[in-house]
Structure 1
Amino acid sequence: MFQISKSLKNINYKMLLALILSGLFPAIYMAVRVRFLGDMPSDWGVNIASQLSWVNLLYEIMNEAILLPVFFLFGKVIKDKEDLENRLRTGLIITFVLYCVLSILIAVMAEPLVLMMAQQSDLVPATVIYIRWESLAVVFSILFRFLLPVFILINKERVIYIFLALQMSLSLIFDTLLISSLPFSLNIGVNGIAFSNLLTSVILVGISLFSLTRSGYSIIRNNRPLSFRWTREWLRIGGYSGIESLVRNLAFMIVILRMINVVNEQGTFWVTNNFIWGWLLLPVLALGELIKRDCAEDSSNIQRFFQGYMSLTTIFVLLWILTIPFWKGFLFNVMGVQNPIEIFNIALVSLIFYIVFAYNNVVDSIFYGIGRTDLMLLQSLATNLIFYIGAYALYLKGLFIPSLTGIAILFGLGIVFDSLITFYLYYKLMKRELVLA
């Protein structure tokens, strides 16, 4: 008990609060966005916007190859200003080029991809246009996300708060002007979401570069020659992470999201995911970011803080359970869901699986923080090649008839399968480290 108390006391709660708010602010404007979409005459706005789920999976593959190793790679040189500046400058160039290429490919292939994902035929043209605009917005959004870990590593909580307030304010302002049903709104429909994202991200990139300059890091006006030597390590670590994400997200897109489209429940699934990932998992994911930071700074923090991480996760889980009676009211009053019963039921069915995910998230974050993306790849290959391909084979043979609840349970069982492998790998890793010590 003393060890747990000591571990909890050592946790950087100021940074954890900043990271929780970094998830809370987007959740607030996403709730407003869902309300705006719900105010449209039919459900076409939600159904079109929900198709970004599988587009985001394609970007997530690149994100996890490019962004996830950044904590580890920046953390290694955080005290070497010149080296960090070089990594920021060269990293921005590489990130911009790669995401431009990916966005162009998605824009060109948008129509066949939408058809492959079984979107409603009458919504295909509008969905294609929306995806193309979002592809442009993503490029600038990723540049901001690439820069943000530096502020976390150098403990600039105040700057992070400013970014968060700006992100929420700009998104709310642009959403109100572009897609709301208010009299002064341009009311341009679902494409307004993409325009709002684009404008917000461009402004945030500019402000983050300015803030880095104010913090003493010369990114734009820097005449030192660029060195790409460090990118070999980025390629190695990011390669494992990218392949892991490719396997995981392709399985999710083909097995889960396609089934969701087949049963014509993409809107319900999208709103449920926004509730779970944007609200319930908010503190869990924030803790994961803190763990990556701590482990990137010093791998010995694993032993010092592990019990504290698990204890905090337990507190978050208990809060979920205590707030269950308020979920329906939250969905109706805050997120503007007119008929929250189905979403509430799916969230309740999924709860036990996400409790498992919450503890699994601690270990996953440790792996990322110490650069062991090879272990992430190993667990992903096992889960997706064994569990999800097996489940899809049953679906193709007609032995599994998809329904929204059935798909939610299938996805949840995949989380449990993945977590068992994760904890086994963590046990083996820690056992080896202790033996070496």
Structure 2
Amino acid sequence: MHILKKSWWTETTESLARIDYRLFGTLLLFGLLPTAYITVRINFLGNIPDSWGYNIASQLTWLNVSYEVVFEALMLPMFYLIGKHIGDSKHFNNTVSNALVLTIALYLILSAITIFAARPMIVFMLQEAHTVDATVSYIRLETVAIMLSAIVRLFTIIFIVIKRERILLILLFVQLAASVLFDSLFISQLPISLEIGVNGIAFTNILVNIILIGISVVALRKASVRLFDRGFTIDFTWLKSWLRVGGLSGLENFVRNAAFILMVLRLVNAVQQQGNFWVTNNFIWGWLLLPVLALGELIRRETAAEPESIRLQARGWFALTTIIILIWIISIPFWDWFISRIMNVAAVDVIVRLSLISLGFYVVFAYNNVMDSVFYGAGRTDLMLYQSLIVNIVFYGSAFILYRRGVFTPDLTAIAIMFGLGIFLDSVITYFMYRRFVQVRNTGS
């Protein structure tokens, strides 16, 4: 009997219909409101009389990039490592408890190193000499906030895996309300403000994360997730699985971010454009990529908990990414107004120009995000490592040699193009790996 093959359009619409839009919407909102508030925070910094606020706050970028190595080694594999136990409450509770122990231990070690080594790291990153002392103070405070936020992030992943959208929304609104309250008290120009400057951002982050941890612990108990229950044991088999999956993820991220720090952030500091680069990154990663990153969270969850979703939903994930990109293009005429009026940034022309230069590269990144998220959800962090080694050793290694020999003279535009070409090369390699990955899954060969 002859079976009619479905058209491309039919397969795409059916795949789009299978996407869990309720969870996607929750994840989108979970990113949107904090991003909106970070924009308000940038507005507050824009009211500080000199440029120190932007330049000091921008140094958190390289700190976050450094911590991202631990984050990707620890957190991203959790979708796979926790998700596969979702049907067994006893193993699930023990896995979650082991994950919490591991999170606290790793971040305590990293935080101690950062606090003691803050000054030499800041000097190495070529921060302006007259802001070094203030930057050291800010970085040390933010280190505490980042450690607390890691615990919140783990709890968030658990709520995503067990699909507790309501709890995620509660955490979101509490985070937003508390951030508004404490930033108004610490860094705003309001009559009630203590006006303690950029350190107020760190104090806000510390207090907000403490509140979120308290709410999360209570919410987990109500969701029947028991942390450190009577049957709790250190699961060395699980830790071994994490070391295998997370170790590769962390190594991949270390290679990628080491190249980013040395060849992007350090050069941006050298040309004294760290403030503009930081604001541009906040606009692109906070606003343009927001739905892309939310989709990535959804894909990691679905791929880990329901492996068949790769076959049933992948076409829809790529189609939804295309829709997001079209929205970017439509929004371009409004960027100037948004950056100048909403973000309160003076160097509007610089930010818009950098964003437009980067846009094509981030279109490629958006599709790459779908493929990378599938790899993470399926526990195939080895594939991530291969592509990272190729791009960062060959491409950024060559760029570094050219820079040291004086062939490559960096300015903000050249740095942005170099970074974009790195994204493009990474995506090309990912595409061929993804094709092979899907072929093996479908045919077993």
Choose from 246, 252, 260 the match for 1:252.
Answer: 260
Match of 2:298 in 1: 290
Choose from 220, 227, 236 the match for 2:234.
Answer: 227
Match of 2:413 in 1: 405
Alignment of structure 1 residues 20-31 onto 2, 5 Å:
20-31=28-39
Matched, 1:392 2:400: yes
Matched, 1:130 2:138: yes
Alpha-carbon distance in 1 for matches of 2:214, 2:97: 14
> C-alpha displacement at 1:434, in angstroms?
2.4
Match of 2:334 in 1: 326
Secondary structure of the structure 2 residue equivalent to 1:59: helix
Secondary structure of the structure 2 residue equivalent to 1:109: helix
Matched, 1:80 2:88: yes
Which letter does structure 1 place at the counterpart of 2:322?
Answer: T
Alpha-carbon distance in 1 for matches of 2:11, 2:434: 20
> C-alpha displacement at 1:354, in angstroms?
0.2
Alpha-carbon distance in 1 for matches of 2:395, 2:286: 26
Alpha-carbon distance in 1 for matches of 2:301, 2:107: 25
Alpha-carbon distance in 1 for matches of 2:365, 2:32: 19
Secondary structure of the structure 1 residue equivalent to 2:418: helix
Structure 1: unaligned runs, 5 residues or longer: none
Alpha-carbon distance in 2 for matches of 1:306, 1:88: 28
Matched, 1:32 2:46: no
Choose from 275, 281, 284 the match for 1:267.
Answer: 275
Which letter does structure 2 place at the counterpart of 1:421?
Answer: I
> C-alpha displacement at 1:173, in angstroms?
1.1
> C-alpha displacement at 1:427, in angstroms?
1.1
Choose from 419, 430, 435 the match for 2:427.
Answer: 419
Match of 1:303 in 2: 311
TM-score (norm 1): 0.98
Structure 2: unaligned runs, 5 residues or longer: 1-8
CA contact (8 A) 2:118 2:140 kept: yes
Matched, 1:375 2:400: no
CA contact (8 A) 2:271 2:412 kept: yes
Alpha-carbon distance in 2 for matches of 1:389, 1:295: 34
Once the two structures are overlaid, the 10-residue window that deviates more, 86-95 or 265-274, is: 86-95
Sequence identity percentage: 47
CA contact (8 A) 2:97 2:232 kept: no
> C-alpha displacement at 1:227, in angstroms?
3.0
Secondary structure of the structure 1 residue equivalent to 2:272: coil
Alpha-carbon distance in 2 for matches of 1:112, 1:281: 33
Alignment of structure 1 residues 357-368 onto 2, 5 Å:
357-368=365-376
Which stretches of structure 1, 4 residues or more, deviate above 4 A after TM superposition?
A: none
CA contact (8 A) 2:276 2:347 kept: no
TM-score (norm 2): 0.97
Which letter does structure 2 place at the counterpart of 1:301?
Answer: S
Cα-to-partner distance string for 1:55-87 (whole Å, 9 max, x where unaligned):
111100000000010000111001111111111
Alpha-carbon distance in 2 for matches of 1:154, 1:146: 13
> C-alpha displacement at 1:93, in angstroms?
1.4
Choose from 231, 242, 246 the match for 1:238.
Answer: 246
> C-alpha displacement at 1:324, in angstroms?
0.1
Matched, 1:213 2:221: yes
Cα-to-partner distance string for 1:11-36 (whole Å, 9 max, x where unaligned):
00000000101110111110011011
State the number of aligned residues: 436
Choose from 69, 74, 77 the match for 1:66.
Answer: 74
